[in-house]
Amino acid sequence: MRWALVRVSLAVTVMVVLAFAVPLGLVVKELARDRAFADAERQAAQIRPALAITTDRAQLERAVASSQAGGDGRMAVHVPGGDGTRQNPPSTDPRDAHEVFDIGRCRARARDVETARRGRSAITSVPGGYALLQPTALSTGEFAVVEVYVPHRAVGNGVTTSWVILAGVGLGLIAGSLATADRLGLRLVRPAERLAKAAAELGEGRLGVRVREDGPAELRAAAVAFNSMADKIVQLLSNERELAADLSHRLRTPLTVLRLNAASLGEGPAADQTRAAVAQLEREVDQLIRAAREQGERTERPTLGCDACEVIHDRMDFWSALAEDEGRTVRLAGVDATVRVPVARPELVAALDAMLGNVFRHTPEGTAFAVDVHHSEDAVIVLVSDAGPGIADPDAALRRGHGAGGPGSTGLGLDIVRRVAESTGGDVRVGRSVLGGTEVRVWLSLDGGGTRRRRERRRRVRRGRARP
């Protein structure tokens, strides 16, 4: 995928560069040519006043030498006029009308000069460049031809530099496009490669493998689904092993009774066979128990732990968009530090989504809510509070979390939150918030020791309150 993106980007960028660079290069070349011949026409126009005044060779030679092109040896003048002096009055001899003298170095061919003398400008090729032939009317009614030599270097002046600049810009655009496509492809490919590798490792039996949830939204969703699936597989296998061990333990009681009864059968082949069968059955049950325990010990446990502040900040970014649509004011505090909790990221995400989802489902639009995080050396407290109508009976809401349920109940979400908190040795409390609505306080223990004992005491207190 990565190299496919690079190749597509290369093809598109090259086509765009060629589509713009080639016409621009031709335009630059044409502009340089027009500029060179426009300058030649300007040089030719400088000699016109002198030709309009006189056709004297000496004066015209001085005029040509005083011009820039004449001083560089690039100008010539073809003047009709017999002996090189102006006729006054003009000669009426037809032979004099065809006599021509030249001033300067002539490069154009005689036939091209004759064509220009008929009053038509021309540009003709000469060795080393071009010659601009510019006819100029004389007072005698004839035309003198001013020839300006334009070398090839003047026609192509600046063209090569412009082409090099265009080529450099084009190569820079291509290189930038390739680098961008490569970075984009890498951003797409790496999460996909990690997901494929994790799937292969999970297929090989490494149940503790998990995928980092980053990259594009689709791959993040796939990583979350993969991690949830892996956690579910681990849970199902654990439940299966526990069920096998539990069934094996349940068989011990009837086996004990059978063994005692077999011992009281006395002597005889039938009694001996019965006692041997009971002993064999007991050995099989013991082997099942040991196999279940050893498999549980060999199974690689999933790596727990995540940054609670980072997860909360990420989920708040998700829910803030919906809050903005519903006109809710959101406040988030205490998520600047890094606080790791012994909870898998998918489980903490599910708990946060359950609490925030309850706010959106059970409070009217426009109701403000806040999430505050407090942490100490042994615990992290997450407070989700809102300004809604509140919960009339918080204890009943927590009891519904154990499966009672009911219309409009938050029991399922609070049950998810409760299980996450109790997995660390913490607990969940529902009360009245400072905003006037409900406050759900989640206590996540970081040590799992003293906090677990406090949790047991709180359970006993809640059970005592629930008794009639």
CATH of the domain at 126: 3.30.450
Domain identity same for 251 and 145 = no
pLDDT score, position 240: 75
Domain identity same for 280 and 332 = no
Share of the chain above pLDDT 90, in %: 9
CA neighbor of 374 nearest in space, from 347, 408, 334, 340: 334
Residue 11 lies in a domain: no
* Contact of 343 with 305, CB cutoff 8 Å: yes
Average confidence (pLDDT) over 133-155: 83
**Number of domain units in the chain:** 3
Residue 75 lies in a domain: yes
* pLDDT tens profile 207-253: 888 888 877 788 888 888 988 998 888 888 877 766 665 565 556 55
Domain identity same for 336 and 444 = yes
CA neighbor of 427 nearest in space, from 437, 412, 417: 417
Q: Which of 87-96, 208-217, 252-261, 282-291 has maximum average pLDDT?
A: 208-217
Distance CA(382)–CA(372), nearest Å, equals 6
Domain identity same for 53 and 121 = yes
Residue 240 lies in a domain: yes
Domain identity same for 316 and 406 = yes
- pLDDT-based confidence at 100, cuts 50/70/90? low
* Contact of 166 with 21, CB cutoff 8 Å: yes
Domain identity same for 227 and 259 = yes
pLDDT score, position 79: 84
Residue 333 dihedral angles phi and psi, to the nearest 5°: -140, 150
- pLDDT-based confidence at 378, cuts 50/70/90? confident
Domain identity same for 413 and 293 = no
319 vs 301 pLDDT, higher one? 319
Boundary residue ending a domain (130, 157, 184): 157
Domain identity same for 316 and 435 = yes
CATH number at residue 460: 3.30.565.10
Residue 33 lies in a domain: no
- pLDDT-based confidence at 266, cuts 50/70/90? confident
Distance CA(38)–CA(106), nearest Å, equals 20
Burial of 127 per CB tally in 10 Å (0-12, 13-18, 19+): exposed
Tell me the CA end-to-end span of the chain in Å, nearest whole number.
66
Boundary residue ending a domain (113, 134, 157): 157
Average confidence (pLDDT) over 293-297: 54
CATH number at residue 292: 1.10.287.130
pLDDT score, position 89: 40
- pLDDT-based confidence at 381, cuts 50/70/90? very high
Q: Is the pLDDT of residue 126 over 60?
A: yes
- pLDDT-based confidence at 296, cuts 50/70/90? low
Rounded CA Rg of the chain: 49
Residue 382 lies in a domain: yes
Residue 12 lies in a domain: no
pLDDT score, position 257: 62
Beta strands 427-432 and 438-445 are antiparallel
* pLDDT tens profile 13-53: 888 888 888 888 888 888 888 888 888 888 888 888 888 77
- pLDDT-based confidence at 380, cuts 50/70/90? very high
pLDDT score, position 399: 63
Share of the chain above pLDDT 70, in %: 79
Average confidence (pLDDT) over 443-467: 57
Domain that holds residue 250: 217-298
pLDDT score, position 405: 41
* pLDDT tens profile 66-83: 788 777 788 888 888 644
Residue 244 lies in a domain: yes
Token readout for 16 is 């765009």
Residue 31 lies in a domain: no
pLDDT score, position 384: 94
- pLDDT-based confidence at 96, cuts 50/70/90? very low
Taking CA atoms, 434 is separated from 390, 427, 437, in Å, by: 11, 21, 7
Please provide the average confidence, as pLDDT, over all residues in the chain: 78
Domain identity same for 345 and 425 = yes
* pLDDT tens profile 400-423: 444 434 444 445 568 778 888 888
pLDDT score, position 190: 80
Q: Would you list the DSSP string of 225-240?
A: HHHHHHHHHHHHHHHH
Domain identity same for 117 and 231 = no
pLDDT score, position 106: 86
Domain identity same for 280 and 242 = yes
Q: Is the pLDDT of residue 86 over 60?
A: no
pLDDT score, position 458: 53
pLDDT score, position 360: 87
Amino acid at 395: D
- pLDDT-based confidence at 288, cuts 50/70/90? low
Boundary residue ending a domain (298, 318, 352): 298
Taking CA atoms, 447 is separated from 89, 230, 344, 378, 426, in Å, by: 125, 26, 16, 6, 10
Domain identity same for 153 and 275 = no
